[in-house]
Amino acid sequence: MSQELSKDPVFDGIGYEPSLYSRSMFVPLKTNYDFTVYPEANKDKNKKILVVCTEEKYLTMANGKKFSTGNHPVETFVPILHFEAAGFEAEIYTPTGKEVQLEMWAMPTEDDAVKGIIDKYKTQLTHPKSLHSFVANKMMSDHEYAAVFIPGGHGALIGLPANEDLKQVIDWVLKEDKFMLAICHGPAALLSGALHESPDKYPLKGYKMKSFPDAIDKQLPSIGYVPGDLPWYYGEKIKALGVEILNNDISGACYTDRKLLTGDSPLAANAFGKMCAEALLK
Q: What is the CATH number of the domain that holds 240?
A: 3.40.50.880
For every one of its 282 residues, what pLDDT tens digit does the chain have, with 9 covering 90 and above?
A: 435 899 999 999 999 999 999 999 999 999 999 999 999 999 999 999 999 999 999 999 999 999 999 999 999 999 999 999 999 999 999 999 999 999 999 999 999 999 999 999 999 999 999 999 999 999 999 999 999 999 999 999 999 999 999 999 999 999 999 999 999 999 999 999 999 989 899 999 999 999 999 999 999 999 999 999 999 999 999 999 999 999 999 999 999 999 999 999 999 999 999 999 999 999
Strands (E), the chain: 10-11, 16-17, 47-52, 58-60, 66-68, 89-94, 129-130, 144-150, 179-183, 208-209, 244-245, 254-257, 260-263
10 belongs to a structural domain:
no
Per-residue DSSP letter, 203:
T
For residue 85, the model assigns a pLDDT of 98
Q: What is the pLDDT of residues 113-169, one digit of tens each?
A: 999 999 999 999 999 999 999 999 999 999 999 999 999 999 999 999 999 999 999
**Would you state the torsion angle of the CA atoms of residues 73, 77, 79, 82, taken in this order, to the nearest 10 degrees?**
-150
Task: List, in sequence order, every residue forming a beta bridge with 257; answer none if it has no partner.
Answer: 260
Which residues are catalytically annotated? 184
For residue 10, CA distances in Å to 19, 67, 176, 182, 216 come to 6, 10, 44, 28, 20
Residues 251, 270, 117: CA angle, nearest 5 degrees = 140
Within a domain: residue 115? yes
- Is residue 137 a contact partner of residue 38, using CB atoms and an 8 Å limit? no
- Has residue 150 been placed in a domain? yes
- 3-class SS at 277? helix
Could you tell me if residue 73 is inside a domain?
A: yes
Q: Indicate the pairing of strand 66-68 with strand 89-94.
A: unpaired
pLDDT given for residue 187 in this prediction: 98
Q: How many domains does the chain have?
A: 1
The verdict on residue 26 lying in a domain is: no
The pTM is what?
A: 0.97
**Residue 173 within any structural domain of the chain:** yes
Picking from 188, 190, 178, the residue whose alpha carbon sits closest to that of residue 279 is 178
At residue 94, φ and ψ (nearest 5 deg) are -125, 170
Residue 269: domain span: 47-281
DSSP code per residue over 156-200 = GGSSGGG-HHHHHHHHHHHHTT-EEEEETTGGGGGGGGGTTS-GG
